[in-house]
Structure 1
Amino acid sequence: MQRVLVTGGAGYIGSHCCKALAAAGYEPVVFDNLSTGHRTFCRFGPLIPGDVRDADELERAFQSMAPVAVMHFAAQSLVGESTARPFDTYDVNVNGTLTLLRTMLNHNVRNIVFSSTCAVYGPADRLPIAETTSLNPISPYGRSKLMVEQIFDDFDAAYGIRSARLRYFNAGGADPSGLIGEWHEPETHLIPVVLDVAMGLRKALKVNGGAYPTSDGTAVRDYIHVDDLAEAHVAALRYLIDGDASVAVNVGTGVGSSVDEVVRAVERVTGRPVATQSGPPRQGDPAELVADPALAKSMFDWRATRDLDTIIADAWSWHQSLRRHETVHHKESV
């Protein structure tokens, strides 16, 4: 069985990709320092604790596991934190990737699937966003991801390391089995925050900005089910293993949903009301971000198939399980 080293594989998207890899006949090997990931998510292959900035730890992982390829999720991913602490963002995202690439070269591993972001585009000059859209990131996080994409181009030209860079839009949902799901501390993503309100764990959702030039005045985003996203990674891996050229592609649905539409969908799926309150728009927050996913269909024969209600239903099932676990753990700890 071919092994794939999955950096950051104990996190939200990484763990779902590990499950998809296992289902596709690969053995995922998680390499994660567990700073934001969860040991309980490492269910589909071995875990090697380690940091991508540590060359010795990476060297031992490659020596012991001999992976045929890498999926690279390990990163500092919060935009606000990247602005407040850019050193940490560049250290992990850029320095960590360079250390990983050096180890790949040492072991003649030439294929990598990279967790990139639509933040590399910055404020889009047209919608939906295609890969030909201007690259103008406005945060250290977005700039760090674009730097890594540029590094991949140079390493492809010089060393033959081929990469598939998947530019995410807004991942949501959870594995329907309930084994893994979205679990961030603190939680800042819209769908789990709205679910917290539906569960009565938050009083209301603060809607940041209500006067955008959209159908209902709230910001519009392209929400993709995390299992669709995981399947895109496996398709990208197969594309590289088949010998195809490096590529950067958007992974989204091509359909936008506003904050208000997400709230209504949560109320519809859960049967519970969601209180909202108005807040000021966040600085630099674009009104609308929607992917053009045509290139991913062309390159990988992949497209997203799960809709917003499915995303929310699976997230709701996981969210209830997670919150029950946290309540029990809290009671047992008191």
Structure 2
Amino acid sequence: MINKQSGSLTYRDAGVDIDAGDALVDRIKPLAAKTMRAGVMAGIGGFGALFEVPKRLKEPVLVSGTDGVGTKLRLAFEWNRHNTVGIDLVAMSVNDILVQGAEPLFFLDYFACGKLSVDTAASVVGGIANGCEQAGCALIGGETAEMPGMYPDGEYDLAGFAVGAVEKSRIIDGKSIVVGDAVLGLASSGAHSNGFSLLRKILSHANAKPDQDLGGRPLGDVVMEPTRIYVKSLLAALNEHGAAIKGLAHITGGGLLDNVPRILQPGLAAQLHRDAWNMPELFSWLQKKGGVADTEMHRVFNCGIGMVIVVPAARADAVAASLAALGEQVYRLGEIIEQAAGAAQTVVI
């Protein structure tokens, strides 16, 4: 409507509340401050965030990644659970750049909505700051976009951007992987942020409610469990074992079947043993309620394995012991074999 006193329209009349945006920035600043680390030169509030590449790196290579949270957000809206999707957002990008050996340095977020709720946005950004603390990277900037008419009330979208650095000589590319190497797996914390379109279809088909029991916990808690961030444990393992860690695969969209081949040269395949790890109850429940075939489960969900590691067989126990001491649940999943003609590069037997 037209302002009766001045006869002119305002941005607020058009649905954008600048004051709410300013209030959100004030709420975000102390959250971002908790994530600061060496290298930050200018962060929240400027037009661009400045970060100095660590001087300890002789030949630094920057590694970047971007991702979102996917349709897991629909459950956040429906169940009013906004405090952990920010962790998911950070995890999806920092785990991706980690697989090339990169230490995450800083993170930026993009939060878009139709009408800005300061409380909801602050809850989301609180999760982002939490994720950055877990990853040891700084939250140094981002964008909040209030766009009336683009999103229904109460809904928003998220995107995240991570930048890390690795010494050029220590980039992990999988090229040294050979037949006979061992394949280790690190346990996931749940479904992470992938496969939620199928997951939500199964929830609807089963008429499932977030407060119903699943393994002694509310189903909503199990489903919304944030993505595990593997940065600190794997960076420590890389410092200890160096080149023995030949390849890393973050198990995201595409599951075990499509992600492990991304680090394998032609002619190689990863043979994983179905009985090498226990599939968490969430996935067993989803498979049963949805009547999902084994192959589809392994192609859509992580099925309990969030990160795959390839090491020489002779070093497998030592690497596994180091990661276990750092708090990871480690499984000996299988081994690298020659790829049979016409066969896939990940085989679950």
| TM-score normalised to structure 1 length | 0.29
Which has the larger strand fraction?
A: 2
Higher relative contact order at CA 8 Å, sep ≥6: structure 1 or structure 2? 2
TM-score, length-normalised on structure 2?
Answer: 0.28
